[in-house]
């Protein structure tokens, strides 16, 4: 993307994130990645009267090729962590999520915005205050629920016992101290109790396996008991999923992670065909998807910090909170969660 356009969308972003005079905005990168993004965020921060600096970490010493979350590159660098803690807002261009260091920086009151997706996607899914309100409506409903049940025409019927872990909203910008968000995003999630997820999930053709960044082609039947996957059955997709989890040699890789639904009608289900190089935020956000996840729940304050993590957005599911229908075969039932033209 042209640097002027990138500057412009980063200015829109930092304006939504309430960056102002007197604040210090830190920008974190690794190796040679996203230098243009760093320049654009620093330009925008200055434009809004804030101070800013760019912290550049060395490239990872080894790359396993797997998407192992939680390795921030800051674990042995307390001086760097301290500097980031002292900034008002950190623009994370490295994906710190799930690392101890991210949580420590948030605990210090620094708000964090992660930005790693392709620039054209950042522009197309620019956050809005209206979308934030709709996401927050969803988060309020989810936060007071005691249980979640997900069903699908393909045979999914799974129940999560809720109430143990907090509800998290992602709407693509952040203006509150200590709050993390990811640009772009529009979804809500929480996690089931550690031993409180039971039932069957059947992945259908077109459901999305992140981080494989592929669409499921053949049904995958996943059996879950007391919060852990006990069986994965099906064709090639099932074999790939099972083989990948097994490769971590970690029983906690079979745990059930976050669960929730997406709200952005501008996000395309077919997004992987355009932005296969990204992390799949468009797929996590598309309107009416129900996303469940496998692996760690430390993001929610839970004990599971396995590096093995899947996010799996599914189409056409229904989702109930305490027996109240919230997502009806991929359509949101609550008017305040729908876009203005669809109420
Ligand atoms: Fe996830």
Read off the CATH number of the domain in which 75 is found. 3.40.50.2300
Phi then psi for 237, rounded to 5 degrees?
A: -60, -40
Tell me: do 175 and 95 sit in the same domain. Answer: no
Q: List beta partners, residue 148.
A: 160, 321
Query: If you measure from the C-alpha of residue 293 to the centroid of ligand 1, how many angstroms do you get, rounded to a whole number?
Result: 6
Q: Are residues 11 and 135 in the same domain?
A: no
**Same-domain status, 100 and 145:** no
- CB-based contacts of 324, cutoff 8 Å, min separation 6: none
Identify any residues that bridge with 161 across adjacent strands, giving them in sequence order.
Answer: 147
Render 138-193 in DSSP notation, one character per residue. HHHHHHT-SEEEEE-TTS-EEEEE-SSS--EEE-S---STT-EEESS--EEEEE--
Angle at which helix 35-47 crosses helix 3-16, to 10 degrees, equals 50
- Give a yes or no: residue 123 inside a domain: no
C-alpha of residue 257 to centroid of ligand 1, in Å:
7
Number of domains in the chain: 2
311, part of any domain: yes
Note whether 141 and 104 are same-domain residues.
no
Provide the pLDDT for residue 66: 47
Residue 309 Cα to ligand 1 middle (Å): 7
pLDDT, residue 70, reads 61
Q: What is the pTM of this model?
A: 0.94
Per DSSP, the three-state class of 198 is strand
- Burial annotation 277-316 (CB, 10 A radius, 16+ → b, else e): ebbbbbbbbbbbbbbbbbbbbbbbebebbbbbbbbbbbbb
Any domain includes 40: yes
Tell me if 167 sits within 8 A of 196, measured CB to CB: no
Name the maximum alpha-carbon separation found in the chain: 57
Question: In angstroms, what is the span from residue 97 Cα to ligand 1's centroid?
Answer: 9
Give 301 Cα–ligand 1 centroid separation in angstroms.
14
For residues 219 and 91, state if they share a domain: no
CA of residue 311 to ligand 1 center, whole Å: 5
User: What SS3 state is found at 105?
Assistant: helix
How many angstroms separate the alpha carbon of residue 217 from the centre of ligand 1? 22
Q: How far is the CA of 310 from the centre of ligand 1 (A)?
A: 6
How many whole angstroms from 258 Cα to the centroid of ligand 1? Answer: 7
Listed residues 84, 116, 148: the one ending a domain? 116
Residue 121 counted as domain residue: no
Q: Do residues 88 and 181 share a domain?
A: no
Instruction: Encode pLDDT of 62-115 as tens digits.
Output: 555 445 556 778 988 999 999 999 999 999 999 998 788 999 999 999 999 999
Alpha-carbon radius of gyration of the chain: 19
State in Å: Cα 137 to ligand 1 middle.
21
Calculate how far, in angstroms, residue 251's C-alpha sits from the geometric centre of ligand 1.
18
Number of alpha carbons in the 13 Å side-chain half-sphere of residue 10: 31
Q: How far is the CA of 23 from the centre of ligand 1 (A)?
A: 30
Q: 138: burial class by Cβ within 10 Å (0-12, 13-18, 19+)? A: buried
Asked whether residue 276 falls in the same domain as residue 326, the answer is: yes
Q: Does residue 122 fall inside a structural domain?
A: no
Residues at Cβ < 5 Å from ligand 1 ion: 293, 311
Q: Name which of 233, 243, 235, 248 is nearest 200 in CA terms.
A: 233
Residue 233 inside a domain? The answer is yes
For residues 217 and 158, state if they share a domain: yes
Distances from the Cα of 183 to the Cα of 2, 123, 285, angstroms: 19, 10, 11
Note whether residue 138 is domain-resident. Answer: yes
Name the residue range of residue 337's domain: 128-342
Same domain, 105 and 135: no
Are 139 and 93 part of one and the same domain? no
My answer on whether 71 and 143 are in the same domain is no
Residue 277 pLDDT: 63
> Which residues does the chain have with pLDDT short of 50?
65-66
Tell me: do 213 and 309 sit in the same domain: yes
- Give the pLDDT confidence score for residue 1 in this predicted structure: 86
CA 129 – ligand 1 centroid, Å: 24
How many angstroms does the Cα of residue 230 sit away from the middle of ligand 1? 20
């Amino acid at each position: 993307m042209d640097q002027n356009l990138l500057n412009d969308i980063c200015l829109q972003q930092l304006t939504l994130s309430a960056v102002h005079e007197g604040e210090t905005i830190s920008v974190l990168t690794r190796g040679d990645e996203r230098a243009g993004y760093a320049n654009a965020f620093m330009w925008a921060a200055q434009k809004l009267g804030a101070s800013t600096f760019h912290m550049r970490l060395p490239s990872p010493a080894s790359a396993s090729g797997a998407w192992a979350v939680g390795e921030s590159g800051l674990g042995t660098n307390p001086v760097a962590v301290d500097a980031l803690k002292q900034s008002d807002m950190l623009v994370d261009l490295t994906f710190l999520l799930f690392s101890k260091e991210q949580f420590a920086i948030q605990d210090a009151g620094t708000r964090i915005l992660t930005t790693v997706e392709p620039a054209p996607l950042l522009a197309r899914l620019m956050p809005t205050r209206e979308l934030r309100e709709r996401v927050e409506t969803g988060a309020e409903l989810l936060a007071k629920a005691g249980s979640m049940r997900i069903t699908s025409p393909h045979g999914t019927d799974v129940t999560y016992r809720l109430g143990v872990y907090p509800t998290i909203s992602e709407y693509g910008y952040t203006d509150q101290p200590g709050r993390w968000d990811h640009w772009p995003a529009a979804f809500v999630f929480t996690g089931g109790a550690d031993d409180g997820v039971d039932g069957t999930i059947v992945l259908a053709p077109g459901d999305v396996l992140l981080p494989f960044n592929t669409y499921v082609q053949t049904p995958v039947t996943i059996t879950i008991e007391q919060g852990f996957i006990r069986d994965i059955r099906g064709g090639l997709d099932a074999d790939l999923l099972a083989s990948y989890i097994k490769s971590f040699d970690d029983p906690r890789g079979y745990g059930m992670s976050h669960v929730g639904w997406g709200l952005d009608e501008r996000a395309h289900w077919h997004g992987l065909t355009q932005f296969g190089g990204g992390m799949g935020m468009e797929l996590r956000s598309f309107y009416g998807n129900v996303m469940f996840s496998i692996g760690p729940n430390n993001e929610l304050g839970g004990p599971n910090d396995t590096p093995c993590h899947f996010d799996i957005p599914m189409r056409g599911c229904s989702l109930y909170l305490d027996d109240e229908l919230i997502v009806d075969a991929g359509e949101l039932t609550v008017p305040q969660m729908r876009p203005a033209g669809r109420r």
